[in-house]
Amino acid sequence: MVKDSRTPEGAPRKRASVTEQEALDFHSTGRPGKLEIMPTKPMATQRDLSLAYSPGVAVPVKAIAADPATAYDYTTRGNMVAVISNGTAILGLGNLGALASKPVMEGKSVLFKRFADVDSIDLEVDTENVDEFINCVRYLGPSFGGINLEDIKAPECFIIESRLRELMDIPVFHDDQHGTAIIAAAGLINALELTGRDLKTTKLVCNGAGAAAIACIELIKAMGFNPENIILCDTKGVIYQGRTEGMNQWKSAHAVKTDRRTLEEAMKGADVVFGLSQKGAFTEEMIRSMAERPIIFAMANPDPEITPEEVARIRDDAIMATGRSDYPNQVNNVLGFPYIFRGALDVRARQINDAMKIAAAEALANLAREDVPDDVAAAYQGVRPRFGPQYIIPVPFDPRLISAIPVAVARAAIESGAARRVIADLDAYGRELSARRDPIAATTQGIYEQVRRRPKRVVFAEAEEEQVMRAAVSFIGQGLGTAILLGRDDVIRSTAERAGIELDRPGIEIVNARLSTRVEAYVDYLYARLQREGYLQRDVQRLIHNDRNHFAACMVALGDADAMVTGTTRNYATALSDVRRCIDAKPGHKVIGVSIIVSRARTVFVADTAVHDMPSAEELADIAGEAARLARRMGYEPRVAMLAYSTFGQPRGERSERVREAVKILDQRRVDFEYDGEMGADIALNAARMEQYPFCRLSGTANVLVMPAIHSAAISTRMLEELGGTTLIGPLLVGLDKSVQITSMGAKDTDIVNMAAIAAYNAGM
């Protein structure tokens, strides 16, 4: 992902990480693993079961027997990929066996679903014998629309993929090879453009001759790169014509006629170097010897062949990409495989050929050249990424990927003859894809990315609780900033020791309110605010000494911290009351709570879910404005529905009159977002029912719902959360002059981290 690799002070930033225990807890909590299977059809009645199984299932069985192509219409085949490995090359861990590869393969399946709505199942094949592996996989073709091979060592992976492509009539794609090649090719296209180089005359060195390196070389040759200008190196040096040591047929295919024998010799005068080898492979002398404006792709993971900081000290004219998420221009396979399979599946492709790979690379390159939309730029808060040396590859949370890459792949499949289904209107197909993936997860990732670019000091007000400590450790581990743990030092440390939480690490501070040198300043500040509200100075002293919410809020109010998160041990209303004694509303704003409901089909913002009990018409108008601003800040164009029991005057009621009056107030304010009401929730969220009211001002279904009272907002959101099928985020606290977020009581550590990240994000607004 594209991000600044330095803190605001200019020091190199540490790579985000998680502890071993956090990783184990993540995979074991609740239902073990990361996948489950859910039915897509109703199973509530006997009739449903009769249609799903016997006797109804016999009808599609006969149809498929008569015409095998209809399997794409009547089964999951057209949206199902198998992720298959034998565990011989797991990540950077080596050959640990098929069973050990299962967490990785499950994770790959999750990424397919998360980024491109492709259903996937992981299959671990317990053999290292090439023929046995091939014979196992080849007969699985009827079950799937595509095969994603993963973590299979070279050179066996070349043989396996090649033979399966010949034997099967569905796409077989080894992502370790081609995924890296496609993303690297996209970055190379743009780097060549920026440096004014031509594909046919550029000189490239590739260090590493494994699966990914060979795939990179083969793809750029297919794109038109002159083979004579490519030098491939391995651990024994240059792969040249006539070399016999350490050779195989795949290396021999890329041997060149040259008198250069070492990597150092090969890189002299080179325009481009691809690193797919190991940490430290590129030296200062090698980088210094390259041509002007060199292009350096140091893609070894987890540590690149040379870091951007090291290159920057050597020369200032280089364009760099790495495999790391904490540097600009990340060569991240998730930019490719989900979307490539999405396009291939939708045209029922027989294979993923070179034309489709090149189309994906070119689409990625073109996307990086386009103006970045607001929902991506929101992650950068005013630092909008622009096409240039620090932005030659799109970021994984760019919501345009789902419509750009699959369309390009589908078009190439159709034009090259690999498709069995032709999509007549590819523009409409792109629009359909955009609606298929909900952007809220991308927006949340964008929030995290922005916070990593500008880390904040966040107070965790209830730090004596174990889940709060875990959240703080995760917060700093993900590179989000400094976590200030507020509480008694001895209690925090003893609890952490019992729980196995390591707190002695950079980025964690423990503050005891009773021992702080800032107590007097906080007392003076709060007493000045509360002395005419019935509080004596000793009352304020007790609040600062004994109540962590007041102490934490004063820290934020006086600039000793950027944001705070609380709520784990007390109810929302009490925590909010504590905070509001210390922090006012932002001038011209209304403090409200906004919950975000995320479902498979859509994302909806609901307000006010936390603050106003029975808002007046004026307050409802204010709430609408605040909620619309939040929605827009998170990448949505707000369409606000002012909800009521009645719809446009029927039936009439006293409470609906307040909503009608709020709409009139918004008319007078001439706001810059769509709104209408009063209307029922069914009208606001159902396009067909909304059509019964052609005068409705909303251009589509509402994505911001303003509730007429807090009870209706709270009841509806909590009910949806408990019924399942939706995720509830929040309520987010909006409108305060300083950044505070309040979790629900008993919140899990992951929920606390999310709220802390949002608090840190808002601190920069």
Check residue 291 and report its DSSP letter. P
Nearest to 289 by CA among 256, 253, 265, 255: 265
User: Does the annotation place 625 within a ligand binding site?
Assistant: no
Which residues are designated catalytic? 108
Question: 626, 590 in Cβ contact below 8 A?
Answer: yes
CA distance 548 to 493: 17
Q: State the pairing for strand pair 726-734/592-599.
A: antiparallel
Contact 438, 402 (CB under 8 A): no
Name the residue among 620, 623, 641 with its Cα closest to residue 689: 641
The first and second tokens of residue 272, run together, are: 């481009």
Q: Is 150 assigned a ligand-binding role in the annotation?
A: yes
| Ligand-binding site membership of 91 (annotated) | yes
Write the CA distances from 685 to 39, 634, 701, integer angstroms.
Answer: 24, 20, 5
Nearest to 79 by CA among 48, 109, 49: 109
Selection from 583, 595, 568, 587 nearest residue 729 by Cα: 595
Residue 596 marked ligand-binding:
no
Tally helices (H) and strands (E) across the chain: 31, 21
Angle between the N-to-C axes of helices 401-416 and 102-116, in degrees from 0 to 180, rounded to the nearest 10 = 90
3-class DSSP assignment, residue 641: strand
Find out whether 134 is annotated in a ligand binding site.
no
Q: Is 193 exposed, middle or buried (0-12, 13-18, 19+ CB in 10 A)?
A: middle
Length of the chain: 765
User: Cα-Cα-Cα-Cα dihedral of 447, 453, 457, 462, to 10°?
Assistant: 30
How far is 685 from 680, CA to CA, in rounded Å? 9
User: Is 151 part of any known ligand binding site?
Assistant: yes
754 among the known binding-site residues? no
* 583 known member of a binding site: no
Tokens at 471, concatenated: 């959240």
| Sign (positive or negative) of CA dihedral 395, 400, 401, 404 | negative
Query: Phi/psi class of residue 326: alpha, beta or left (left: φ > 0; alpha: ψ in -120 to 50)?
Result: alpha
Cα gap 567→573, rounded to integer Å: 9
| HEC readout, 589-611 | CCCEEEEEEEECCCEEEEECCCC
Element (H, E) at 293: none
| Calpha distance 356→185 (Å, rounded) | 13
Write b or e for each residue in 289-310: b if 16 or more Cβ atoms lie within 10 A of its Cβ, otherwise e: bbbebbbbbbbbeebbbbbbeb
Instruction: Name every residue whose Cβ is closer than 8 Å to that of residue 569 and which is 6 or more positions away in sequence.
Output: 462, 465, 745
At residue 338's C-alpha, the angle toward residues 335 and 757, to 5°, is 60
Kindly provide the residue ranges of all beta strands, DSSP E only, lying in 317-399, ordered along the sequence: 319-322
Please enumerate in sequence order all residues whose Cβ is within 8 A of that of 69, keeping only pairs 6 or more positions apart, or say none.
348, 420
Three-state helix/strand/coil letters over 156-199: HHHHHHHHHHHHCCCCEEEHHHHHHHHHHHHHHHHHHHHHCCCC
Preceding amide of 12 cis, omega within 30: no
**Is the alpha carbon torsion for 56, 61, 64, 66 positive or negative?**
negative
Around Cβ 588, how many Cβ atoms within 10 Å? 8
716 DSSP assignment: H
Residues annotated in the binding site for a divalent metal cation, as ranges?
150-151, 176, 301
Residues annotated in the binding site for NADP(+), as ranges?
90-97
